[in-house]
Every structure is written in C-alpha cells, then in structure tokens.
Amino acid sequence: MTTYPKNRSTTGLTKTAKPSESGFHSLSSVDALTALAVDATVGLSEADVAARRLQYGPNEIAPHPVRGVASILIAQFRSLIVALLVAAAIIAFAFGEEVEGYAVVVVIVLNAAIGFFSELRAVRSMEALFEIGTVTTRVRREGKAAKVPARELVPGDIVLIDEGDVVTADLRLVASSKLQADESTLTGESLPVGKHTDPVVPGTPLAERASMLHKGTSVTRGNGEGVVIGTGLNTELGTITGLVQEARDEHTPLEKRLDRLGHRLIWTTLVITVLVVVIGMARGRGLVIIQTAIALAVAAIPEGLPVVATISLARGLRRMARRNALVNRLSSVETLGATGVIVTDKTGTLTENRMTATRLLVNGSLLVLSDSHNELSASDDDVGSPTMDVARRSLEVGALCNNASIQEGRRFGDPMEVALLEAAHRMGLDRPSLTAERPEVREEAFDPEVKMMATFHEVPDGFIVSVKGAPESVLAVCDRVVTKSGTLPLDSAGRDAWMQQVAALARTGLRTLALATRTTADAGDYPFRGLDLVGVVGFEDPPRLEIRDAISQCRRAGINVVMATGDASDTARNIGGQIGLVSADERDAVVIHGSEMKPVEEMSRTDKERIVNARLLVRVSPRQKLDLIGLHQQAGNVVAMTGDGVNDAPALKKADIGIAMGQRGTQVAQEAADMVLKDDRFLTIVAAVEEGREIFENIRKFVRYLLSCNISEVMVVGIAILFGAALPVLPLQILLLNLVTDVFPALALGLGAGIGGVMNRPPRDPAEPILTRQHWLGIVGFGFVFTIAVLGSLLVAELLLGYSQSQAVTVSFLVLAFGQLFHVFNMRDPASPTIRNEVTRNPYIWGALALCLSIVLVVTYVPPLARVLSITPPDLSGWILVAAASLTPFAVGQIALLVRSRYPSDRTGSERGNLPL
C-alpha cells in the first residue's frame, strides 16, 4: 500500500506536513488517488478503513473545553488584593481578633459570590451559542454508497458531494459538475467560489485552490466527488485550531493594573506593620502594639476594593448585554475602554451582508439603481424612455434566469440572484408573474467552467433564452447588443468597449454580471451562442447606514480602525472610502495584500511600520492575522479584533479583546472570542468601547476614594503611635469604616453614569496605572487634611470640652466617618459644576449616604452595638465639633477643585478627573 502524509493526533500537533504543504491541490486527481492508494470507483475496504483509523485517529478536533463551576470559582481568588485580605484574616485569627477576622472573611466570600455568579451567567450564555449536532457524510466504500458519521472518515475515503452538504474533511476533487462552495468561514471570501478537478500551481493561496474542498465549508451548488487528504487536526481547519492553541490568552489591562496596585499595597502594609511593631517594642508596649499593628494593617487594606470592582464590572457586563454585546469575562469589560486599534472584517460588520444591485450599464449609459425606491436615476443627461426600456428588459432577464426566491421578506438562494430579484421588483417585475406568462421549461445550471447560466421560457412563437454570467464569458458569445435604437451588431471593438466599462465598475469595488437573451424554436438548443447583450449589473454589499458615523466616533476617540477582509483590493478600497475609513484624497490608498506580508522575523523596521500604519488589508492568512495583531500590540496598542470565520479564531484569541459575530459567526470564532455581538453591528463595538471607558473612569474614582479614606486612617493611627498618644480610632471602628462607610459610597461611584464625553479624547496609555503619580499625591494630601481634622477634634474634645478618653475617641471616630462620607463629593471632575455634576446627579450616591449615616447613628445610639465598638454617644457640643471637623476635608477639596478649574493644567484624556491636591 502506498503511504501518505500521516495525520496529526487529536491531542496535539506533530511535525508532519500541513495540508498547505502536502501539495495535493497541485497534483492531478489521478496522482492524488494513487498517492492515497484508493480506486475512486470502489473506495476503501472496511479493513483499510479500520487500519487507517487506528493509525490516524478519529476525524475530529478537540472540542472547546467547558469552563466548570470550580474553575470559575477559583478564578475569583486569583488576585493579589484578595490574597492580601486572606492574609489579614489569618493574622487576625492568629492573634485572637476573631471579630475582625470574620469580618474580613465575609468580604472575601461576598466578593467571590458576586464575581462567580456574574461570570457563570455570562459563560453559560456563551456556551449556549456553541451547541452543535452530529454530522454525517456520504462515502463510497467497497463499491457502495453509505452514510457514516463524519468523525469516522479516514484519509483515502471517497466522499460524495451534493448541494447543501457541509464538508467534513479536506478533499481533493476527483469529479465535479457545476460545483460551487461557500468558503467565507475559512478564507473570508464573501461569495461562493467555483470548483473543478484541474490541478492548480504549487503555492497557490488557500482562497484560490479551486481543486480542493476544505473542512468546515459548505457546498452551495452542483455535485462531485473528492478523496479525503486530511482529517482532524491535519486539515486547514485543524491548522487554524493549532494556531488558536498557540495564541496565548492575554491578561487584561485591568488585571495587570490591579496586580500592580496589589503589589504596592502589600509592600505598604508590610512596611507600616513592621515600623509600628519596632517602635512599639522599643517603648515596651508589648501585646498592645501587636493589636495596633493589626489595626494599621486593616486600615491599609481597602477591603471593599474587590467587592466594588466586581460589582461595577458585573453591572457593566449587564449593560453591555442589553446593548447586544455579550462579554464572557468581567475584566474584559474594562479592557474595551483602553482599545486603541480595532481590526475588523468587512462583510456583515461594516456592511449589510446583503448583496444589492446598485449600478446598471445599458445602452452605453451607467444607471444608478435605488435601494429603496421603484426608480432608476441616470448619470447621463440624455438618458430617456428608450434607455429605461432597455434597463427594464435587462432586469427582466435577471429575474427570469434566477433560482432565488423572496418569501414574506425572507431571502433564499444565491446573494446575487436575490439582489437581481429585488432590483426587478423595484421596477415592478416579479418572477412569479413573469414565469406565469413565460413558463420555464429548461435550466442550464451555472457551470464554473463556462461561468454562465441559462433558462428557457416558452412563448407563443418559440422560446426565450435568458442568460447571465461573468461579463467576459457572456460578451464572448454575444453577436448583437440591445440599444435604445434597437438591436445592433456587436463586434470585437464593441466588446472591448464594454469590457473597459466593466473594468471601471470593478475598480470601484463592484462585482458584475452580464445579462443576455435570444429566441429559439428548440428548447434543447445550446444556449451559449448568438446572444443579444442587454446590460451589465454592478453589485455591492452596501455599508451599514450608521457605519460612517461610527468610524467618525472612533477617529474622535483616537481609535485606529483597520479593515482586514477576504475581498479584493478594489472592493476594500471602495468600501473604505464610502465609510470614511480612508478620505477622498486617499481613495488610491495603498492596500496591503497578504502575499506582500513576510513572516515577522523577516520584516524590517520599515515593513513593520508600513503594516501598523495600514488601514486596508486583503487576502491575509490566519497566521498573518496573528502577526498583524502582534505588531499592533508591540506598538503599544490595546487591540480589539472582530471576526466570524474559522480563519479569524487565532487572531480573536491573540487580541486583547476578541469580538465574534453572534448571528453569522462560526462556533470556532465564538469560542475564541472574549465578546460576542448578538446583532453583528460595528456600532455595538463603539458603544461597548464607550461603556468600557466610562467603567474605567468609575473604577479610577472609587479606587481614589477608597485609598484616600484608607490612607487617612493609616496616617491618623500612625501619627498617634509615633507620638505615643492613645489610638484616635480603634481597630474594630476602622473595620466598620472600611466595610460600611467606605464601601457603599465607593460602590455608588462605580455605578454612576460618568461625566460624558469619554469618546472625545484618545485612549489611555495601556501602561498607565490605575493611579498615576498625581493621583497618589492627591491621596496623600487628603490624608494630611483628614489627619489634622481628626487629631484636632480629638485634642479639642479632651482639652477644651473636658471629654474622657472614650468620649474623645468617639468624637474622632465620628469625624473620620462623616468626613469620609462628605469626601465623596470631592470625586467630581474639576471641569464639572460645583452643584450639578456627575456625583450629585448620581442617585446611588444619595442612597449610599443615607444608608451609611443611618448605620453610623445606629451603632452610636444602640447600646449593644455601641459597647462592642467602644462608642460613647456625644452631647450637643460634641456633635457641633463633629460637624465642623468632618466638613473640613470637603471644604478644602471643593476650594482646590475651584482653583483647578480656574487654572487648568495641561493634561491628557487619561489624566482627566485627577484629585485636586
């Protein structure tokens, strides 16, 4: 038995040849059968099948792993800040501080529960998209046709192919009849492509291998037979799956930022704790200083940060879902806001994914076909009724020579045939009415070899032959042309003139079909000779109505949009111009073809810069899409990638945000993506980016708020220890502040609507931390203001009001509590009004303040709770002192904001909203 390329296992890639390297597309069908040791008329024997299945394994690709409940739960604890909380709880229990320990545990469990259920719901919604049934394939084995499960195919099997079949392995065609296949999921080519048995030259790009059918594509017309040359991972689809496995899942920018913040907090906490213990031991304070150190550690850790971040992201996830963007990971919500580059395909995302007849070339004139009215408009002033009669006759031919149908608004059939029916309908021509008058008696199906189709229709004096096909093919068999002056001879010069006009249409990105007709007395006559040319129709997949505005929004937001399509260069250039991706001056912009892209390791700096600066790329392979994403990431951009086909999956996984189509996307693409668009609209991506930016602004606000509160607690306690004074705030009181009065206002900030205008500034630097140097200076500045207010009130209570230590500590606790609540109003943007701003308009803020004020009053005046927290209710003088001191940070902050608004500094969009101090 002749040997053939060994298949790769389903568990990993091996070093055997890939299908693209095996050369079957360049072998004759006879040589391919010989190489695979099979007779096409007989097929494999059962013994051969068993032996080959044992050697090469089943024809399947490892299924997408389902994220289990345990995996999702464990993911909630993979954060340095959560680890810090766990450490704090352990230390608290170790030193007998059980109340503090249990309180921190509650925070950890609450955070994990919120994140777990939000992410579980999103993941299960995504997995619901991936349901797929078992596929069978017709084969010839031992001389008989039979249906077998697709997973049982082996190299050498003879597969019988019919219209409508899904191709379940890579095949070298050995017989074909008018065969066409939809390869859009694999190559990005939006229209069906013709197939034949003739070999193509070695090294032909995947999209042009007419002698091959590939796993995952579908047959749209005709029939044939093919020999299996690759199964499982040893198919083009398998190669792409291997690239998906190679593409590493990138950590989101938010995860990186929170990890960096976690590192800073760990070192801050350790340094503070060690210093306090050393100072305390030196002064002989023993166990008391250990308790104080725990208090400081509790103060330094923002226990509410994970909870608030998780809830804020979960709410953003739900808001995006309502806007038709389904996100499967919480942290990916914020990543969208940092997006600087969107690499998008064309069909269905930028365009309607609906072929439309928009131009009609008749009588030497170019007519514009309206997409919404029953009319034709002309580009020439001399066009009159006779030309319109020719135009009507052209569309009549297009409606007759047609297999598509439109039923109750639903379209069935080839996209270009549907477009012809719609254009004819707008002229008052319906195929059912036409065929009722002229019944169809014969069809010569479209043949990829002659590139034409014909139908015969009976009329009283014979038969009308209606023909459509590729312009060069139809013109070659036309002897006459229908004009407004009648039918005239068509010579070679006339054909050349028509082809020049057709070429001009093609240069604008239109696909073209020629329409011709003649009469005959014999329904069995050969259709493709002696024809009368009536016109040429130009088709396009029109841009979505909202796309131009969406591209403009991206430009204002500093986002670079790159089109990577499987279509031709002219089509990409034309659509790019229509949607504003390239300006009128750039209509001749350089389009980078996949054949021009070298491997990254062979690229010069100039090559890389040229690709990164390109906005139009065509015919790029899955590996080249991976390289494109990687080059943009190396340039410092956060990259979002849209895709729907199998060929897009590796790049979707490699991108910072992979965005798959929900309506027309393949299972492989959806599994690799971070987000699925339920409506397949580019505008939804723009809305998601805006949502992500708003979320980051909110995250930055509540992180600043939480840390400024925590730093103030650390400074208050630390300075008191440094000077050997009594603690102005007790450990359990600090924990109450961190878990109640800090968390709820922070959560309200995280749920706010934002300041607006986030899409009018460039994306932030991916390397920029959540808190910049200026933010940290502001946090420390507020810490000093809080320290002065709290320690000042403590001294006034003891020295001027004559309070006991317990009463004075209660005053300082209440000053810190109310001061932190009022401090939330300092989180507004400096440019926003003092009274009516994004914070005061946030209803969650007022709810949080009311709740926290109530809690503080309850723990102050309910005796059991007051005893636990060592609180003594103050008298009227004490409350006046509390009110005056607690308003001090608010007043200082508002004055600083006012000064900042009067004398704004130069700041980038990412610095917007910095603290005023």
**Could you write out the DSSP letters of every residue in 623-663?**
HHHHHHHHHHHHTT-EEEEEE-SGGGHHHHHHSSEEEEETT
Beta strands 657-661 and 675-677 are parallel
- Residue 351 DSSP symbol: B
Radius of gyration of the chain (CA): 36
Give the position of tokens 């109530």.
854
Cβ contact 192:414 at 8 Å? yes
Q: Which of 157, 345, 567, 742 is catalytic?
A: 345
Which residue, among 368, 340, 388, 327, has the nearest Cα to 540 in the 3D structure? 368
Q: Roughly what angle, to the nearest 10 degrees, separates helices 287-300 and 98-127?
A: 30
Beta strands 616-618 and 592-593 are parallel
Q: Roughly what angle, to the nearest 10 degrees, separates helices 415-426 and 385-400?
A: 140
Which residue, among 258, 256, 276, has the nearest Cα to 84 in the 3D structure? 258
Q: Based on the number of CB atoms within 10 Å of its own CB, is 568 exposed (0-12), middle (13-18) or buried (19 or more)?
A: middle
Alpha carbon distance 85, 710 (integer Å):
14
**Could you write out the DSSP letters of every residue in 41-73?**
TT-B-HHHHHHHHHHH--S--PPPPPPPHHHHH
Phi-psi region of 57 (alpha: psi -120 to 50; beta: other; left: phi over 0): left
Which residue, among 522, 523, 506, has the nearest Cα to 514 in the 3D structure? 506
**Could you write out the DSSP letters of every residue in 812-859?**
HHHHHHHHHHHHGGGGS-TTS-SSSSTTTT-HHHHHHHHHHHHHHHHH
Q: Roughly what angle, to the nearest 10 degrees, separates helices 743-750 and 843-861?
A: 170
**Number of alpha helices (DSSP H) and beta strands (DSSP E) in the chain:** 31, 27
Beta strands 531-540 and 511-520 are antiparallel
Q: Distance between terminal CA atoms of the chain?
A: 82
Map residue 139 onto helix, strand or coil. Answer: strand
Alpha carbon distance 415, 348 (integer Å):
13
**Is 345 an annotated catalytic residue?**
yes
Q: Based on the number of CB atoms within 10 Å of its own CB, is 804 exposed (0-12), middle (13-18) or buried (19 or more)?
A: exposed
Which residue, among 619, 594, 625, has the nearest Cα to 207 in the 3D structure? 619
Map residue 517 onto helix, strand or coil. Answer: strand
Residue numbers annotated as active site: 345
